[in-house]
Amino acid sequence: MIKKHYSSNSRKALNVIWNAAGDYDFDPPFLAFYSNGHPDFYFNVIIGLTKKWLDIDKITAFIDSYSYASASDEYDEYVWLALESCLYDKEIGSRPALSDLRKAHAEEFFRIQQSLSKQQMELMSMPVYTQQQARWSAVTGRKMPLMSPKEHKIYEALMFPSELDTDVLIQRLSEFLKEYFRFDPEASDKEAGRHKTGLFKKLWGRHKYAQIKNTGHLIVRTGTGDGDPANAVLLKQENGFNRTAGDDAEARAYIESCFGKSLYPEAELSNIESVLCSGDDIDCKLWFAEDKSSHKHTPTSPDVPAQNENRTESARSVENKSPDKTDPCDYSSLQLSKQALREISNAKSSVNEQRSKNIDYFRKHSMQINESIRKLSSELETVISSYLKHLPEPSERGILDTKKIYRLAVLGDQKVFLREGDEAENNLSLTILLDASQSRMNSQELIASEAYTLSESFVKAGISVQILSFRSIKGYTVLSRLKSFEDKRSDGVFGYFAAGWNRDALALKACGHMISDIQKKEHDRQHILLVLTDASPNDSVPLAPKPGEKRPGNYEGLTPVENAREAVEELRKSGIKTAAVFHGSTAHLENAYRIYGKEYIRIRSLAQLAGGIIDLMQSVLRENVPE
């Protein structure tokens, strides 16, 4: 079952319903809450029992049938009292605890009524209140309220017995509404000309019931629950792409002012471009930068300190090989038009705003995130340690170390045997590469929190982590480092924002280059690259024209996917274990498979991240067991 992203209270309510129903494979059309937002335990059990004992779809359809009536809220309360009576009797034989739950609910009813203000009492429907009071008084053994003869008849009529099946029960409910309220659901529906059918009726119903009802006892219809994370923003291709030398200079200045100085000196950057910007990427440029957007921010939460506080000296110094270390935000020396400067200023404000949103999202889900980190890091430790080589250590038993046997005779040292020690040779590193193109704009907060969760989990498991983001703007594919290996904490990732295009193949090649810099220094280090992507490469810089073609093709469709696949293949050949976390439209799922093969997982929510990553890591590490 696909899990939608519910609040924790909703998920609690759902679990009670599913448990009572004995079925987790349905989406309950109702959830019960008190007006303070807490789930109503007993009535969620009743909703679950509706599924267990009756046809919940027919019950829902009946409730929908009078939803247009002005008194529909009141009718709902009567209907649920009737259902409660019937379902309680059906279930009590097999669930004796239901009696205590019913009493507890009844006591809660009276406790809430005592706390209501006079105004709140006036807002209530007194006929409904009387019936509820009567029902719960009988349950708790309290004195029954004073009722008129009609009210008494309604009270008796709502005591639906257990032997009713769905059709008879609905028939009785219909008769009840007709007799006591002169309301015929089918007749009034048609008369009003609002006998909607099919999809429109469902949508209308959802619209109407996606509100919280303000009564002491809430039955709330669930909304549409749009859990589709795709929300892919289609990037419109520019018509044609022509670049002049002047454009080049301005684009370069623009990129530098947006993202900061290049990590590589000019000459080295040129060399890198000459190697990597080939084939379909021949018209492209590269930029490698350190994300400094968080440096000027004061901490907004004790959990998320400013990046500066957590950087080691080496991280602060940055692997910036540029000789010019002036304030990275001082772009007055760069020749940019006023419009460009204005654009950049606005963009920086938006980036700051996005950072705040990322942090707010993190705070809102911090319990879930911290729990995921705790669980994931513990499981990662187990998985990873099973693939690491354990260093041998001297012992009093094991395999005889003949080189040391003399110590036995001469020194009486019995530790002349070797056995696998506890210490493992941890030579794993992880790079998390985030697609930061505009197609991700509806998932920015989620992606930042996902990356944070992953990074912290791996760090806690003893793996060093860096986080990079990539996007393409003005012909430049820019890799920004949000967290370096030396950074102790991962909150730099909250500087993540989505903008621009995504030229996946070139980004992967550029990332591979950054990793190879490390591999040159640390030969034994094994590297894992984890790409968070929607597997939908798209760029304004077109593909190189094919032989015989006059016009270049747009960078979209199958060719960029194939280019990305080749880039991943090259990475894997160079020893970088590459895998992906796919979070996007089902339409692009095939792309994810083409590019990454089996080494990817699909997730739709943060809750699925931990479990998916463990499976993925086992698969990735198993493919390349250390010798």
Partner 1 sequence: MTDILEFLKNEGLNRELIDGIRDFKAKYASHNEYNSRIPEPEYLYYGKDTWEEAVAAILAGRNILLAGPKATGKNVLADNLAAVFGRPEWNVSFHINTDAAYLIGTDTYDGQKVVFRPGPIYLTASNGGFAVLDEINMAKNEALAVLHSALDFRHIIDVPGYDKINIAPDCRFIATMNYGYAGTRDLNEALSSRFVILSMKPIDEADLIRLIKRSYPDIKDNFAAQFAKLFAEIALKAENAEISEHALDLRGLLDALSLIRMGLKAGQALELCIVNKTFDEYERGLIKDCINSRIPAELDRLAVFGA
Q: Out of 400, 557, 598, 626, point to the residue binding partner 1 (CB under 8 A).
A: 400
Report, in Å, the least distance between residue 427 CB and partner 1. 17
Q: Out of 301, 382, 574, 624, point to the residue binding partner 1 (CB under 8 A).
A: 382
Strand-pairing partners, residue 301, are 304
The CA-based diameter of the chain, rounded to the nearest angstrom, is 107
Q: Does 525 bind partner 1 (CB under 8 A)?
A: no
Q: Out of 417, 494, 555, 600, point to the residue binding partner 1 (CB under 8 A).
A: 417
Report, in Å, the least distance between residue 414 CB and partner 1. 5
Report, in Å, the least distance between residue 20 CB and partner 1. 6
Q: End-to-end distance of the chain based on CA atoms, in angstroms?
A: 40
DSSP secondary structure letters along 189-248: HHHTT----HHHHHHHHHHHHSS---SSEEEEE----------PPPPPPPS-----HHHH
How far apart, in whole angstroms, are the C-alpha atoms of residue 85 and residue 88?
A: 5
Give the residue with the Cβ less far from partner 1, 329 or 367.
367
Q: Does 12 bind partner 1 (CB under 8 A)?
A: yes
How far apart, in whole angstroms, are the C-alpha atoms of residue 597 and residue 613?
A: 16
Q: Out of 58, 622, 624, 626, point to the residue binding partner 1 (CB under 8 A).
A: 622
Q: Which two tokens stand for residue 448?
A: 């930042």
Q: Does 88 bind partner 1 (CB under 8 A)?
A: no
How far apart, in whole angstroms, are the C-alpha atoms of residue 506 and residue 511?
A: 8
Using the structure block, give the residue that is written with the tokens 């943060």.
606
Interaxial angle between packed helices 366-385 and 338-364, expressed in degrees from 0 to 180 and rounded to the nearest 10: 80
How far apart, in whole angstroms, are the C-alpha atoms of residue 183 and residue 189?
A: 10
Nearest by Cα to 484 from 503, 465, 470, 498: 465
Q: Does 122 bind partner 1 (CB under 8 A)?
A: no
Q: Does 408 bind partner 1 (CB under 8 A)?
A: yes
Q: Which stretch binds partner 1 (CB under 8 A): 9-17, 150-158, 251-259, 276-284?
A: 9-17
Report, in Å, the least distance between residue 482 CB and partner 1. 28
Give the residue with the Cβ less far from partner 1, 145 or 392.
392
Report, in Å, the least distance between residue 396 CB and partner 1. 6
Q: Does 385 bind partner 1 (CB under 8 A)?
A: yes
Q: Does 92 bind partner 1 (CB under 8 A)?
A: no
Strands (E), 262-389: 285-290
Give the residue with the Cβ less far from partner 1, 16 or 59.
16
Q: Out of 7, 19, 333, 356, point to the residue binding partner 1 (CB under 8 A).
A: 19
Q: Which stretch binds partner 1 (CB under 8 A): 206-214, 412-420, 430-438, 520-528?
A: 412-420
Question: Which residues lie below 8 Å from residue 374, measured CB to CB, with a gap of 6+?
Answer: none
Nearest by Cα to 102 from 176, 46, 173: 46
Q: Out of 8, 211, 301, 345, point to the residue binding partner 1 (CB under 8 A).
A: 8
85 in Cβ contact with 160 (< 8 Å): yes
H helices of 461-582, in order, are: 504-521, 558-573
Q: Does 41 bind partner 1 (CB under 8 A)?
A: yes
Q: Does 618 bind partner 1 (CB under 8 A)?
A: yes
Using the structure block, give the residue that is written with the tokens 């008129």.
148
Cα 54 to chain center, whole Å? 35
Q: Does 45 bind partner 1 (CB under 8 A)?
A: yes
Dihedrals phi, psi of 169, to nearest 5 degrees: -60, -45
Q: Does 291 bind partner 1 (CB under 8 A)?
A: no
Report, in Å, the least distance between residue 382 CB and partner 1. 3
Q: Does 461 bind partner 1 (CB under 8 A)?
A: no
Give the residue with the Cβ less far from partner 1, 19 or 317.
19
Q: Does 601 bind partner 1 (CB under 8 A)?
A: no
How far apart, in whole angstroms, are the C-alpha atoms of residue 147 and residue 153?
A: 9
3 state SS of 534: coil
Q: Which stretch binds partner 1 (CB under 8 A): 20-28, 71-79, 249-257, 303-311?
A: 20-28
Q: Out of 108, 184, 283, 371, point to the residue binding partner 1 (CB under 8 A).
A: 371
Question: Which residues lie below 8 Å from residue 612, measured CB to CB, with a gap of 6+?
Answer: 581, 601, 602, 603
Report, in Å, the least distance between residue 589 CB and partner 1. 21
Q: Which stretch binds partner 1 (CB under 8 A): 196-204, 215-223, 419-427, 456-464?
A: 419-427
**Site size for partner 1 (CB under 8 A):** 46
3 state SS of 134: helix
Using the structure block, give the residue that is written with the tokens 């820019």.
478
225-228: Cβ within 8 A, 24+ apart = 225/4, 225/6, 225/27, 227/2, 227/3, 227/4, 227/5, 227/604, 227/605, 228/585
How far apart, in whole angstroms, are the C-alpha atoms of residue 322 and residue 302?
A: 34
Q: Does 390 bind partner 1 (CB under 8 A)?
A: yes
How far apart, in whole angstroms, are the C-alpha atoms of residue 26 and residue 40?
A: 19
Q: Does 420 bind partner 1 (CB under 8 A)?
A: yes
Report, in Å, the least distance between residue 542 CB and partner 1. 45
Q: Out of 112, 383, 518, 606, point to the residue binding partner 1 (CB under 8 A).
A: 383
How far apart, in whole angstroms, are the C-alpha atoms of residue 508 and residue 532?
A: 12
Give the residue with the Cβ less far from partner 1, 278 or 386.
386
Q: Which two tokens stand for residue 618?
A: 């086992």
Report, in Å, the least distance between residue 96 CB and partner 1. 7
Report, in Å, the least distance between residue 301 CB and partner 1. 20
Q: Does 100 bind partner 1 (CB under 8 A)?
A: yes
Q: Does 409 bind partner 1 (CB under 8 A)?
A: no
Site for partner 1 in 228-257 (CB under 8 A): none
Q: Out of 2, 70, 97, 330, point to the residue binding partner 1 (CB under 8 A).
A: 97
Binding site for partner 1 (CB under 8 A): 1, 8, 12, 15-16, 18-20, 22, 24, 41, 45, 94-98, 100-101, 367-368, 371, 375, 378-379, 382-383, 385-386, 390, 396-400, 408, 414, 416-417, 419-420, 422, 611, 614, 618, 622
